[in-house]
């Protein structure tokens, strides 16, 4: 393992029960005894690439819930900034500006988040999609200062009700995460080991 690289979680790793605070103040139990939990790690509040992905989750949230999966999304921005960007999302969003959860789950930051050519199309598309609402003052711009930086990599974890990691994905670039179809497939086969 390269120096300074956080330890990555693997299938079967137990997650100790915890209660996280969502940006609305509601407690979020991870794991949740009644659900599979899809714990997503995203970049920063207002991130155009993250917004693209979250729109796909919102569009199919009913399917995800029907499959027995509860979404929980973590950003490394302060709660007060996140609140401006996540109103209307049908799932809890957790602020982790100190990146404590990122470190615990082995989620990294690296220049390849933006330098990998596979991220360039989604970056441009995300900026173009967010430009209209920003210009019309329906959505704020992301803060110019991001305490956790702008080079965060995404990560996805499917956690069973018993707290075991059932599947994990560590993104190689800013738009490398599980699409909804993968989440649904993993929910149907929760013993899945890991997924690219």
What pLDDT is attached to residue 195?
47
What pLDDT is attached to residue 103?
94
Q: How confident is the model at residue 79 (pLDDT cuts 50, 70, 90)?
A: very high
Give the residue numbers spanning the domain of 63. 18-188
Task: Report pLDDT digits (tens) over 82-137.
Answer: 898 888 899 999 999 999 999 999 999 887 878 788 888 777 877 777 677 666 67
Cis upstream peptide for 32 (omega within 30°) = no
- Say if 175 falls within a structural domain: yes
- Say if 13 falls within a structural domain: no
Say whether pLDDT at 50 is over 50.
yes
- Say if 139 falls within a structural domain: yes
Q: Residue 95 maps to which CATH number?
A: 3.40.30.10
What is the domain count for the chain? Answer: 1
Alpha-helical (H) ranges within the chain are 48-59, 61-66, 79-85, 100-104, 112-115, 117-135, 180-188
- Say if 6 falls within a structural domain: no
- Say if 57 falls within a structural domain: yes
What pLDDT is attached to residue 5?
65
- Residues 22 and 124: their CA atoms lie apart, in Å, by 29
Residue 107: other Cβ atoms inside 10 A:
25
- Say if 196 falls within a structural domain: no
What pLDDT is attached to residue 189?
85
3 state SS of 1: coil
- Say if 89 falls within a structural domain: yes
**Burial classification of residue 73, based on how many CB atoms lie within 10 Å of its CB (0-12 exposed, 13-18 middle, 19 or more buried):** buried
- Say if 23 falls within a structural domain: yes
Strand partners, 40: 73, 156
Cβ–Cβ < 8 Å for 79, 23: yes
Q: How confident is the model at residue 49 (pLDDT cuts 50, 70, 90)?
A: confident
Mean predicted confidence (pLDDT) in 158-173:
96
């Amino acid at each position: 393992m390269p120096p300074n690289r956080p330890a990555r979680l693997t299938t079967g790793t137990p997650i100790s029960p915890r209660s996280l605070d969502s940006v609305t103040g509601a407690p979020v139990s991870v794991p949740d005894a009644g659900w599979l939990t899809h714990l997503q790690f995203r970049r920063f509040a207002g991130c155009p690439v993250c917004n693209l992905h979250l729109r796909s989750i919102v569009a199919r949230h009913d399917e995800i819930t029907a499959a027995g999966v509860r979404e929980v999304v973590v950003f490394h921005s302060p709660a007060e900034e996140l609140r401006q960007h996540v109103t209307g999302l049908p799932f809890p969003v957790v602020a982790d500006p100190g990146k404590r959860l990122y470190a615990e789950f082995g989620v990294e930051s690296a220049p390849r988040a933006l330098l990998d050519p596979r991220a360039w199309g989604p970056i441009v598309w995300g900026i173009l999609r967010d430009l209209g609402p920003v210009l019309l003052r329906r959505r704020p711009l992301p803060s110019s200062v991001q305490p956790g930086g702008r080079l965060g990599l995404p990560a996805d974890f499917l956690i069973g009700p018993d707290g075991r990691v059932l599947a994990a994905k560590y993104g190689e670039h800013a738009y490398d995460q599980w699409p909804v179809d993968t989440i649904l497939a993993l929910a149907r086969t929760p013993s899945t080991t890991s997924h690219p």
